[in-house]
Amino acid sequence: MRAIQIVDTTGPESALELGEVPEPEAAHMMTPGSGVLIDVEAAGVSFPELLQTRGEYQLKPPMPFVPGSEVAGVVREVQGEAAVAPGDRVAGFCVLGGFAEVAAAPTHFTFPLPDSLDAAQGAGLVLNYHTAYFSLVTRGRLRSGETVLVHGAAGGVGTATIQVAKGLGARTVAIVSSDEKEAVAREAGADAVLRSDGDWREAAKEASEGGVDLIVDPVGGDRFTDSLRALGEGGRLVVVGFTAGSIPEVKVNRLLLNNVEVIGAGWGAYVLSKPELTLEIGAELAKLIDSGAVRPIVGARFPLERAADALLALDRREATGKVVLEVSA
């Protein structure tokens, strides 16, 4: 089969090679003896793949390896108990191996893809939307009627978080850096959109009657202290990622003075050993797809052979919504 491999750690321009490799077995490496083999139509592109081209991601398989953590396509074969069968359209989280014509995913990470979503949308459904639900609900304890502020709101995690929060009855405030990204955040359903280079902290407080209840932050960097100041009493700031590059430090007196919390949300590490939680989150997201709240926003689409350009879009802060590789028609 055709696949993209990471062959060294020289970065996205030079570390990727398109070639022929053997097809995987249905049994997934994380769940020996069971798994789902998927004929891939579209593969989602995310930060871990970018970091893997530089050897900077925690998961470091021996090289060369096929990157790609999630796909959408059609089931070819199932091993073990699964809620899907050969011929079904599915979205699957495969951890590695997604930038290929055929990929394997664990059974509990493979979800039916409804006809209302195309393959490119399916390729953006697992990582970002499960992370969004996990950050908002499992870790952030979101309640209907609360105000949620989302950093990096036009990105993959950001658009997903806006849609899930809205679907669960929250009011959403989006923080973005450009006009184009403002339009994407509005398309995702944000109630208010503020600029990261303006006085968003005061505007967010005004938009939420004195202070935001919950902040989801995949960006980190300098804005972290302002995020703490934008929270209302009892507010929660959920740490999801550090696309701005630097890892913020917290002066913990701020937590005490304002009675606020900083909460970590590491989806992959948490759910890996809890298949029942993944199935629960999948069922909640299926309801939000049915209600129309969840509609993944696909930004740039590239053919498989242009995987490097897809990773560079993320690296250059140009990506909006989900960046996708179109693998087969």
β-bridge mates for residue 179, sequence order: none
Q: Which of 268, 277, 279, 309 binds ligand NAP (CB under 6 A)?
A: 268
Q: How many helices (H) and strands (E) does the chain have?
A: 11, 15
Interaction of residue 103 with ligand NAP, rule CB under 6 A: no
Interaction of residue 188 with ligand NAP, rule CB under 6 A: no
Interaction of residue 152 with ligand NAP, rule CB under 6 A: yes
Are the beta carbons of 238 and 135 closer than 8 angstroms?
yes
Binding mask 269-308 for ligand NAP (x = CB under 6 A): ----------------------------------------
Interaction of residue 241 with ligand NAP, rule CB under 6 A: yes
Interaction of residue 265 with ligand NAP, rule CB under 6 A: yes
Phi, psi of 240 (to 5 degrees): -120, -30
Classify strands 35-45 and 322-326 as parallel, antiparallel or unpaired.
antiparallel
CA angle 295, 308, 216 (to 5 degrees): 40
Phi, psi of 222 (to 5 degrees): -65, -25
Q: Which of 240, 262, 298, 324 binds ligand NAP (CB under 6 A)?
A: 240
DSSP string, 111-133: EE--TTS-HHHHTTSSHHHHHHH
Name the nearest CA neighbour of 188 among 150, 221, 218: 150
Q: Closest approach of Cβ 181 to ligand NAP, in Å?
A: 5
Query: Beta-carbon neighbour count of residue 327 at 10 Å?
Result: 28
In the window 189-228, what residues touch ligand NAP (CB under 6 A)? 196, 218-219
Stretch that binds ligand NAP, among 20-28, 63-71, 186-194, 239-247 (CB under 6 A): 239-247
Q: How many residues sit close enough to ligand NAP to count as binding (CB under 6 A)?
A: 29
Name the nearest CA neighbour of 135 among 258, 241, 254: 241
Interaction of residue 98 with ligand NAP, rule CB under 6 A: no
Q: Closest approach of Cβ 135 to ligand NAP, in Å?
A: 7
**Which helix (H) or strand (E) is 37 found in, with range?**
strand 35-45
In the window 46-85, what residues touch ligand NAP (CB under 6 A)? 46-47
Stretch that binds ligand NAP, among 102-110, 136-144, 199-207, 237-245 (CB under 6 A): 237-245
Q: Closest approach of Cβ 87 to ligand NAP, in Å?
A: 30
Interaction of residue 177 with ligand NAP, rule CB under 6 A: yes
Angle between helix 275-290 and 156-167 (nearest 10): 70
Name the nearest CA neighbour of 155 among 311, 316, 318, 308: 318
* Site of interaction with ligand NAP (CB under 6 A): 46-47, 127, 131, 152, 154-158, 176-177, 181, 196, 218-219, 240-245, 265-268, 314, 317, 319
